[in-house]
Structure 1
Amino acid sequence: MDKLVIAISSRALFDLNDSHRIYEEQGLEAYQQYQIAHESEPLQPGGAFSLVKKLLHLNTQLNSQRVEVILLSRNSADTGLRIFNSIEHYGLSITRAAFSGGASPYRYISAFNSHLFLSMDGADVRHALEQGVAAATILPSTTTMASDDRLKFAFDGDAVLFSDEAERIYKSEGLEAFARSEKQSANQPLSGGPFKPFLAALQKLQMEFAPGESPIRTCLVTARSAPAHERVVRTLRAWNIRIDESLFLGGMDKGGFLKAFDADVFFDDQEGHCDSARHHVATGHVPHGVANEIGRAVTPDTISNSGQD
């Protein structure tokens, strides 16, 4: 039986800001000494910790190992011991890892058959997307675990679930041309974006549960509005993929709606939407599509990509 496989970097799983700062200011040797000296001290949860905990809990609910989380890290096995000690401290069932000793670990993502890669390193995320794997840069956030016991994923549409073909028209020709084109193409399904395979795998997992009892819930949160909504509905129907909730916001700010949905994580390709969302829910920036060709989103990790993630 196929597993849902999530690859995650150590800095997305745990708060490594202090040790990362030492690496940047004092160098690799000081970083290594710091990690070894503190390896018995559990790390604090990071931006994707709550999401990972809920994902792994699905195995208990299904009484089957249907979800696996893989740790990918630039640490060596020596400095990574603190990370595995922290995994054990929190009772996370993570047993597979790749410690790449300073090199980027993204090349192992496909080897592990990963459906999704989460990191705080923008360069690694872009490499993963180039490999055809859904990937997102987890942004700094002060949010806590969603209050609902269910696992809730929220997705932007264009350039995330769908290709950016429609967004390119909007960027180059404006809103009226976009609306006109989408109305004319309402019966023509959009091509899949980088997160289509992940959503399909997630739906397979949802179907493992009895009707109405799945703890997984999905939501499309898009700036589209009528009449551009019709092509989205028909595209999902053509893919035979069901979304539990759909929000067509017509350009309204997404943050408040994501908070109302109580999302565990939200994925969007546009920096402005991500900046709004991260104040309400855990947020992953997807550096894909025309919006990121025009101007790549600037995050702490697109500025500094060489840390011990």
Structure 2
Amino acid sequence: MAQDDTERLVVAISSRALFDMADSHRVFEDEGVEAYCAYQVERESEILRPGVAFRLVRKLLNLDRSATRVEVILLSRNSADTGLRVFNSIEHYGLNVTRAAFTNGERPWRYVRPFGAHLFLSADPNDVSQALAAGYAAATILPSAQRDETVEEAEDGELRIAFDGDAVLFGDEAERVFRTQGLDQFSASERAQARAPLPGGPFKRFLSALHNLQNAYPAEQCPIRTALVTARAAPAHERVIRTLRHWNIRIDEALFLGGLAKSEFLQAFAADIFFDDQTGHCELAMQHVATGHVPFGVANERPDPAPESDHETTPDR
């Protein structure tokens, strides 16, 4: 019987987001591709340490060990040869990751759609930006200041995912009003459009997939909890609430912070990961929780974007 995609969640992740590959990446940057390849092959039996997104992946896979509702796909710029160390590490930790694309330096995000992924996580900002531009939910996994965790600790508890609102779950039209016309006009605009749903942002489809997965569990036994953590405050809250209602999507917790720093609230929520479009918010959040920067919308616009290239100078291997 074919799997019902309305109850299926697929996440694609790069090697360097899943594992700590700082040493090997340093070899690549300092000595080049050939030295990197030799380094990985020589150490292919050495197990990589968990990376920033390891906890998230572990919890995702523990939701459904049969991999019929949740699947994690590896998308890597490694070659199949250098990727053997990554697969050895996946096997060592008992991660049920069986599908992968090793692109040998070319853009791995091209395979997001064929694999049916709802989310792409990478340590390479260029890959993430290109994936977002192509219409996929994607985030750059940032280095974390969290304490090291054992594998056992990473297994415990609910999966908790937190999102910013504008330019992440929603489009950035309201953020543009705020930046160009100020807080008073933003508040007036949101009050006037309170019953007009916000446009969907890059993470709407991912949130919808999470919502559908939550609905596959009895309400009192659901192992997934979501939170909206936004700088909005009243009266700009109503449009957000009505938008989620219009989408028929459930958010378990909604924090309207009115400009307060988000980091302590994320720590209190115990987020396994937080997604935000603004680098300042991300830099504070990454001190407490795993954080993904979503380079989308007006906060991330650049006057002269770099041209797309198949072979980046600092690939996410």
CA displacement at 1:131 relative to structure 2: 2.0
Residue number among 250, 253, 262 corresponding to 1:254 in the alignment: 262
CA displacement at 1:242 relative to structure 2: 1.1
Task: Please give the TM-score of this superposition, normalised by the length of structure 2.
Answer: 0.92
Conservation of the 8 A alpha-carbon contact between 2:61 and 2:67 = no
Matches of 1:248 and 1:98, distance apart in 2? 40
Aligned match of 2:183 = 175
Residue number among 25, 41, 58 corresponding to 1:20 in the alignment: 25
CA displacement at 1:102 relative to structure 2: 1.3
Q: Tell me: CA distance 1:93–1:295, structure 2 relative to 1, closer, same or farther (3 Å).
A: farther
Aligned match of 1:35 = 40
- After TM superposition, list the pairs within 5 Å mapping 1:139-158 onto structure 2: 139-144=142-147, 149-158=157-166
Conservation of the 8 A alpha-carbon contact between 1:270 and 1:285 = yes
Conservation of the 8 A alpha-carbon contact between 1:121 and 1:305 = no
Deviations 1:230-280 (A, max 9, x none): 000011011111100000000000000000000000000000000010001
Q: What secondary structure sits across from 1:212 in the alignment?
A: helix
- After TM superposition, list the pairs within 5 Å mapping 1:25-174 onto structure 2: 25-60=30-65, 65-144=68-147, 149-174=157-182
CA displacement at 1:133 relative to structure 2: 1.2
Aligned match of 2:309 = none
Q: Tell me: CA distance 1:119–1:102, structure 2 relative to 1, closer, same or farther (3 Å).
A: same
Matches of 1:131 and 1:194, distance apart in 2? 10
Matches of 2:133 and 2:29, distance apart in 1? 27
Letter in 2 for 1:45: P
* Aligned-residue RMSD, C-alpha: 1.5
Conservation of the 8 A alpha-carbon contact between 2:228 and 2:253 = yes
Matches of 1:115 and 1:26, distance apart in 2? 35
Letter in 1 for 2:125: G
CA displacement at 1:109 relative to structure 2: 1.1
Letter in 2 for 1:22: V
Are positions 1:206 and 2:209 aligned together? Answer: no
Conservation of the 8 A alpha-carbon contact between 2:124 and 2:316 = no
Runs of at least 5 residues in structure 2 that lack an aligned partner in the other structure: 305-311
Deviations 1:146-185 (A, max 9, x none): 8860000000000000000100000101111100100000
Aligned match of 1:301 = none
Q: What secondary structure sits across from 2:126 in the alignment?
A: helix
Aligned match of 1:236 = 244
Task: Please give the TM-score of this superposition, normalised by the length of structure 1.
Answer: 0.94
Conservation of the 8 A alpha-carbon contact between 1:23 and 1:308 = no
CA displacement at 1:307 relative to structure 2: 2.6
Matches of 1:34 and 1:7, distance apart in 2? 25
Q: What secondary structure sits across from 2:292 in the alignment?
A: strand
Q: Tell me: CA distance 1:64–1:99, structure 2 relative to 1, closer, same or farther (3 Å).
A: closer
Runs of 4+ with deviation above 4 angstroms: 144-148
Matches of 1:122 and 1:25, distance apart in 2? 19
- After TM superposition, list the pairs within 5 Å mapping 1:190-229 onto structure 2: 190-229=198-237
Most deviating of 192-201 and 63-72: 63-72
CA displacement at 1:100 relative to structure 2: 0.5
What is the aligned residue count? Answer: 300
Are positions 1:11 and 2:16 aligned together? Answer: yes
Matches of 1:285 and 1:51, distance apart in 2? 15
Q: What secondary structure sits across from 1:136 in the alignment?
A: strand
Conservation of the 8 A alpha-carbon contact between 2:275 and 2:292 = yes
